[in-house]
Chains A and B, each alone.
Chain A
Amino acid sequence: MQLNILKKGVADTLQDAGRYGFQHIGIPPCGYMDYLSAQLANIILGNPLEQVVFEIHFPASIFSFNEAVCICITGANFVPVVNEKSVELNTPIFIEANETLQFLQPIQGKICYLAVKGKIECNSWLKSQSYFLERIQTGMYFSVEKNNSSLPTIHHEWLQRIYKHIFQPSPIRFIPGPAWNDLDPASIQILLKKTFSTSLKSNRMGYAIQGEKLALLKPPTYLSSAVTKGTMQLLPSGEIMVLMADHQTIGGYANIGQIILLDLPKLAQLKNDTPFYWNIVSAEIAQQSYIEVQNEFHQYDKNH
């Protein structure tokens, strides 16, 4: 079957778990911004956990399908409608031949995922199908190799728990980075006690954080060094820039902390100007809680 892009969105892409093994030549990892929602869409359809999905921002692309197919929409609620009838998130949706999917308004979250039951055919570059610098364009079409396996049973309570990891308001947790001790003590107090929010200047490369300005004890003279998804860079302006999926591989700004993997989806989905708090967490807790949640996903993946 074939999936067509009737009209392109503002920044839609195809993403998988990312492109690793090439950061030493400067190639960003890319991949899902909110991996929990992307994995959820695949699990609900019985697809492999880290299959390629459409990552959709608002205003979103308009999709049409030339044959009956089963899809799933997760992540942000952009009010999806199929032939003008609203459809639910986080559940399989049965599309008829020649129906059209569009998204009307951004009610909750920032990034939405569209998975198709089966496999979306698209090019792979350096072992990944994640787009880098490219965008979904009007008139593009993608072949889908459908599969008719039965759909797995997803426990509602588990779905709710995963949903909370992504959308329940709570502090964004981080582990202090190499330049943490170079922060002015007053700035540390501000960071740990005041609210911050993401700003308009946020995209797949990085999220610009607004809030009270922070300062270093002395002028920065760091040599460039590798950064990761979730690195909190303190810019000369005193603002924090959190590096996201398409981040450059090394950076020379003060690296004051790294957001933990489990909380990255939450930050990715935070709407601009929504206040949040920061919280320090230990690496052990961060690693254990991430592994626990991922093991639950793998359980569904295996059982099916």
Chain B
Amino acid sequence: MVQHQHNTEWKVKLLGDHAIQFCLPEKIDPFIVEQIQHLNQYIMAQNLLFFKDCIPSYHTLTVIFDLNKLGKMTWKGTPYPIPLQLGQSLLKEFLADTNEVKKKETHQQVIQIPVCYDISLGSDLAIVAKENNIGIEDIIQKHCQPIYQVYCIGFLPGFAYMGKVDKAIQSPRHATPRPLVMAGSVGIAGAQTGIYPMNSPGGWKIIGRTPKTIFNKEMAPYAKFKMGDQVQFFPISLKEFTKQNEYAIEHT
């Protein structure tokens, strides 16, 4: 078994009056994402009723707490648990806990996502090609090659921020967001790539579209991706896209 290393650079901060934030150094790093995930799993497993939400991101885990429930408790001689001290105490217990290593999934499957890179669906393909002085075929090849990691979920329900995109095809957001990006659109923003789960305004450069539903309001787990997932794209033809399109009803 690989010896698990805990990061010693954790900090706990208050975020306003009803949240605490556990922070690691601010950088895009798979190891940091993994640490955030472990702490998230540890805190979720404590089943603390006064925690309303646990929100992981690149280098932070934010816990939203219920001040009302907290206000009705006593804790270590104080009238109610002081959130910052509570956070520090949780972190200490987490760092001392060796069991959490076992919780890590040993084998992770790569989620394969079909994308149609037809020019009619990838409205910014030409711009990305021109910016990077690269052919569209090369963009497709370079976008499909890496196994991306999901760093966090946000912006829209189920929207996964994935990285890293090959330097040769990176492209900044549009200066002004487009008023309508169609559900399923696959975009690039700098070193990140992601899929719009629903029709929305958006600023990412759109290079293709997936026929697969990314967020399903009616059925758990609702979102196709979660933090830490591994994702890879593969190209499909326009004909194949039309055949597989799960958004058909919304698009007409």
Contact = CB atoms under 8 A, between A and B. Distances in A.
Interface of A: 20-29, 125-126, 174-175, 177-178, 222-226, 228, 230-231, 248-251, 257-261, 283, 286-287, 290-291, 294-295, 298
Contacts, number: 135
B60 A225 contact: yes
A139 B154 CA distance: 34
Nearest to A221: B26
A79 to B, nearest CB: 33
A9 B16 CA distance: 34
B68 interface: yes
B231 interface: no
A175 B17 contact: yes
B71 A226 contact: no
30 contacts: A21-B52, A22-B53, A24-B56, A24-B153, A24-B227, A25-B223, A25-B226, A26-B154, A26-B157, A27-B157, A29-B53, A175-B16, A178-B13, A178-B15, A224-B152, A225-B57, A225-B62, A226-B15, A228-B15, A228-B18, A249-B154, A250-B55, A257-B16, A261-B17, A283-B16, A283-B17, A283-B83, A290-B17, A291-B70, A294-B68
B71 to A, nearest CB: 4
A224 B58 contact: yes
Contacts of B59: 223, 225
Nearest to B222: A25
B91 interface: no
A270 B157 CA distance: 29
B64 A23 contact: yes
B156 interface: yes
Contact of A22 (B17, B21, B84, B222): B222
Nearest to A255: B15
Interface in B207-235: 215, 217, 221-223, 226-227
- Do most interface residues of chain A lie in helix, strand or loop, or is the interface mixed? mixed
Contacts of A175: 14, 16-17
Given A26-B159, A228-B19, A261 B52 contact: no
Nearest to B17: A286
Size class of the B contact interface (CB-based, 8 Å): 35 or more
Interface string B131-160: 000000000000000000000111111110
B161 interface: yes
A29 B154 CA distance: 12
A228 B16 contact: yes
A30 B106 CA distance: 37
A287 B62 contact: no
Interface in B23-65: 26-28, 40, 52-60, 62, 64
Contact of A223 (B16, B21, B28, B68): B28
Given A26-B158, A223-B26, A291 B55 contact: no
Contacts of A27: 157, 222
B64 A25 contact: no
Contacts of B154: 26, 224, 226, 248-251
Contacts of B153: 24-26, 249-250
B63 to A, nearest CB: 9
Contacts of A257: 16
B55 A23 contact: yes
Nearest to B80: A291
Contacts of A290: 17, 67
Nearest to A297: B68
A258 B67 contact: no
Contacts of B55: 23-24, 226, 249-250
B34 to A, nearest CB: 16
